[in-house]
């Protein structure tokens, strides 16, 4: 489904802003034959009339058109205020004017204001009619015209989407919601309503579409859930919809957890739920240590905590000369610390930038045994990927997906790479209830070897620690409740050294889901000797912590409050679990441990 057609760069016609829900169109003035042909192919009814304000308003019925076009990218008009004012009566309640005007800001404002319209979307038009996304203001040097999408001053995109949804047009509804411009909605309530309506549409779309692509749709809906609940933590409708999506995935436990948490926060009576069935521990295959492959890591250019920690682990295990990344990333070599954005993934390994053509020669010469591709967002240019993929040949290629989302993106990544298959895919956010195919394996975050506290003074620890962004997951809900019921406030800001010192002095550290279910804090807290009190993650984690032994898990808000009170009152038990959790991290969840687990799995796959 394409729900983002109002962006990018397009040819010299109206394709940049053509919308699926527009079914009846009026062109005022000259019109290109190709525009008519394209619209007719899509089943759109088209009318044409002169761009003359004197045209009888009774020519067409009131509210007859979903879109009215004036001018074109190749033939902009100097002014259109009189034409637009007279034609506005023909525009439907949720309709749009598409205006291509000369580069004059006063012309745009005069045209819109006089007709009771407001700006919705904007593009610049290059000479020759090529449309480029942009923002109103001083025209860039290349601009020959401005392309404007305008709506009625009282236009409500959420009401528009609901009307389309009610008439059975789920795809069109989702397109409207997906194309709401940044900043168009000003209040938290309006933005949350947009997110909830988008959730609802994605769920309906999923029910109509079936299992294929379900995990990606779930992840898309989950992002909208996080937007809604960050803005309005007690907006129960958002929880109900996301719980329904968990139900579709067969995860009744997660569905119940959401609803119990919001109901408890709202002061409703919540039934105590018996402890859920504990899954059997999962283990990763052991690496023999005898097979020491030469690894090429093809990655994106940005700092990436999960990937960069894995890189550090691979270099520690195999040696710097056997692990090469491309493109060269400065944060892996002690440079550009600001590009880590405060995450603990600045490393200082030796290594120089490698030319892509030299790298291709090394691949063809068989100097690499394994290729890992870690660019889930498909940021690398085809000018780099094409020669590399050609040179990879039969060298075993594996996908590493450290992104925040739980969708199965292997097929999309392979398409981007121009390859039919990968030997396997390693995924951070691998839902227990998800179906990813036989060749996908879990690969959660780890913690850098060099940052783990070797000695911890448990006797002097006290209190509760949390710090971070109050967005995503149920963070706003949890933090608001802990402040109200337990008087716990987590507002302090730390510099990096203060942050580490705080961790070393804390008895209990809280770990809540973020944009991903797997978070840095899940590993960071026990690595520094805190008792890990964490939301029970719904993803596969080999050698995970054990509840009550190496960490403490909670399933919902009432259980968080109950367990937090208990372990604050029982420091001896907290210490015993914290000590065991610290030892568990050292054995199974350092960067080098994660690298050995990855190598063990690859060794088994390759035989």
CA distances from 462 to 544, 569, 578, 580 (A): 25, 11, 12, 18
Mean pLDDT in residue range 286-296: 97
Task: Label residue 228 by pLDDT band (50, 70, 90).
Answer: very high
Distance CA 410, CA 414 (A): 6
Distance CA 597, CA 540 (A): 14
Helix (H, G, I), strand (E, B) or coil at 359: helix
Tell me what the pLDDT averaged over the chain comes to. 91
Task: Label residue 462 by pLDDT band (50, 70, 90).
Answer: very high
CA 529 centroid distance within chain: 31
User: Could you write out the DSSP letters of every residue in 496-557?
Assistant: HHHHHHHHHHEEEEEE---SSSS-HHHHHHHHTT-EEEEE--SB--TT---BTTTBEEESSH
Percent of the chain whose pLDDT exceeds 90: 75
Higher pLDDT, 544 or 278: 544
According to DSSP, the residues that pair with 299 across neighbouring strands are 374
Helix (H, G, I), strand (E, B) or coil at 605: helix
Of the CA atoms within 13 Å of residue 121, those in its CB half-sphere come to 23
Mean pLDDT in residue range 578-586: 97
Higher pLDDT, 441 or 61: 441
CA distances from 285 to 238, 369, 425, 545 (A): 40, 19, 15, 17
Distance CA 11, CA 184 (A): 27
Give me the pLDDT at residue 263, please: 97
Task: Give the chain's radius of gyration (CA, Å).
Answer: 28
CA distances from 153 to 114, 160, 382, 404 (A): 11, 14, 43, 38
Least confident of 78-87, 173-182, 267-276, 329-338: 267-276
Q: Which domains does the chain have, with CATH numbers?
A: 9-153 (3.40.50.150), 160-265 (1.25.40.10), 295-446 (3.40.50), 453-589 (3.40.50.2000)
Q: Find, among 306, 305, 285, 282, the residue nearest to 540 by Cα.
A: 282
Burial class (CB in 10 A: 0-12, 13-18, 19+), 496: exposed
Q: Find, among 108, 72, 68, 104, the residue nearest to 88 by Cα.
A: 68
Q: What is the total residue count of the chain?
A: 607
Q: Find, among 326, 380, 378, 21, the residue nearest to 176 by Cα.
A: 21
Q: How many CB atoms lie within 10 A of CB 395?
A: 17
Question: Is there a contact between 21 and 171 (Cβ–Cβ < 8 Å)?
Answer: no
H or E element in which residue 263 lies: helix 252-265
Mean pLDDT in residue range 407-420: 95
> Tokens for 27?
């062109």
Task: Label residue 5 by pLDDT band (50, 70, 90).
Answer: very low
Give me the pLDDT at residue 133, please: 78
Question: Is there a contact between 293 and 367 (Cβ–Cβ < 8 Å)?
Answer: no
Distance CA 370, CA 367 (A): 10
Question: Is there a contact between 246 and 238 (Cβ–Cβ < 8 Å)?
Answer: no
Could you read off the pLDDT of 132-160 as tens digits, one per residue?
877 887 888 888 888 889 999 999 999 99
Could you identify the residue written with the tokens 């994106």? 300
Distance CA 360, CA 572 (A): 58
Mean pLDDT in residue range 352-374: 96
Q: Find, among 516, 533, 431, the residue nearest to 472 by Cα.
A: 516
Sheet of 65-70: strand order equals 9-10, 131-133, 117-126, 143-152, 91-101, 65-70, 24-28, 45-49
Parallel/antiparallel/unpaired status of strands 117-126 and 143-152:
antiparallel
Give me the pLDDT at residue 101, please: 85
Give me the pLDDT at residue 14, please: 55
Give me the pLDDT at residue 370, please: 98
Question: Is the model's pLDDT at 86 over the cut of 90?
Answer: no
Q: How many CB atoms lie within 10 A of CB 522?
A: 28
Distance CA 27, CA 87 (A): 11
Helix (H, G, I), strand (E, B) or coil at 376: coil
DSSP state of 234: T
Could you read off the pLDDT of 253-285 as tens digits, one per residue?
999 999 999 999 999 988 877 655 667 789 999
Could you read off the pLDDT of 102-113 as tens digits, one per residue?
876 666 777 787
CA distances from 257 to 54, 217, 273, 558 (A): 63, 21, 9, 10
């Amino acid at each position: 489904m394409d729900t983002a057609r109002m962006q990018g760069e397009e040819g010299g016609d109206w394709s940049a802003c053509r919308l699926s829900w527009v079914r009846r169109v009026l062109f005022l003035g000259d019109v290109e034959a190709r525009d008519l042909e394209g619209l007719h192919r899509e089943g759109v009814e088209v009318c044409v009339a002169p761009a003359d304000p004197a045209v009888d308003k009774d020519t067409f019925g009131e509210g007859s058109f979903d879109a009215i076009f004036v001018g074109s990218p190749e033939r902009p008009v100097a002014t259109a205020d009189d034409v637009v004012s007279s034609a506005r009566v023909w525009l439907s309640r949720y309709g749009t004017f598409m205006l291509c005007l000369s580069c004059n800001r006063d012309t745009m404002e005069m045209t819109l204001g006089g007709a009771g319209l407001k700006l919705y979307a904007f593009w610049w038009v290059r000479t020759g009619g090529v449309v480029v996304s942009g923002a109103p203001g001083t025209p860039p040097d290349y601009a020959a015209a401005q392309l404007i999408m305008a709506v009625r001053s009282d236009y409500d995109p959420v009401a528009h989407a609901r009307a389309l949804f009610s008439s059975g047009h789920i795809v069109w509804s989702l397109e409207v919601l997906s194309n709401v411009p940044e900043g168009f909605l000003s209040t938290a309530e309006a933005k949350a309503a947009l997110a909830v309506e988008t959730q609802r549409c994605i769920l309906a779309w999923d029910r109509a579409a079936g299992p294929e692509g379900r995990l990606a749709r779930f992840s898309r809906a989950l992002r909208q859930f996080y937007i809604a609940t960050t803005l309005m933590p007690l907006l129960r409708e958002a929880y109900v919809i996301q719980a329904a999506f968990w139900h579709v995935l067969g995860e009744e436990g997660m569905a119940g957890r959401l609803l119990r948490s919001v109901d408890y926060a709202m002061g409703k009576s919540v039934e105590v739920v018996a402890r859920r069935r504990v899954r059997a521990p999962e283990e990763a295959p052991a690496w023999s240590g005898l097979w020491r492959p030469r690894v090429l890591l093809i990655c994106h250019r940005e700092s990436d905590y999960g990937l960069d920690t894995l890189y550090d682990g691979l270099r520690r295990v195999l040696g710097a000369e056997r692990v090469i990344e491309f493109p060269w990333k400065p944060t892996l070599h002690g440079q550009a610390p600001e590009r880590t954005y405060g995450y603990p993934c600045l490393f200082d390994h030796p290594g120089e930038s490698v030319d892509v053509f030299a790298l291709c020669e090394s691949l063809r010469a068989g100097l690499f045994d394994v290729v890992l591709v870690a660019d889930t967002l498909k940021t690398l240019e085809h000018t780099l990927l094409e020669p590399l993929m050609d040179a990879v040949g039969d060298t075993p290629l594996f996908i590493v997906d450290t992104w925040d989302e739980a969708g199965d993106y292997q097929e999309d990544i392979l398409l981007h790479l121009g390859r039919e298959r990968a030997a396997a895919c390693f995924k951070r956010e691998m839902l227990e209830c998800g179906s990813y195919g036989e060749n996908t394996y879990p690969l959660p975050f780890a913690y850098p070897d060099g940052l783990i506290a070797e000695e911890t003074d448990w006797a002097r620890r006290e209190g509760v620690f949390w710090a971070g962004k109050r967005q995503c997951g149920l963070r706003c809900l949890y933090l608001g409740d802990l402040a109200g019921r337990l008087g716990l406030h987590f507002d302090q800001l730390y510099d990096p050294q203060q942050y580490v010192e705080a961790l070393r002095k804390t008895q209990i550290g809280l770990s809540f889901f973020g944009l991903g279910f797997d978070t840095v804090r899940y590993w960071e807290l026990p690595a520094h000797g805190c008792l890990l009190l964490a939301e029970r993650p719904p993803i596969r984690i080999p050698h995970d912590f054990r509840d009550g032994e190496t960490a403490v898990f909670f399933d919902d808000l009432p259980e968080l409050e109950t367990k937090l009170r208990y372990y604050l009152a029982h420091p001896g038990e907290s210490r015993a679990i914290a000590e065991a959790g610290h030892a568990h991290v050292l054995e199974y969840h350092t960067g080098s441990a994660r690298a050995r687990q990855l190598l063990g799995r690859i060794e088994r796959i390759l035989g």
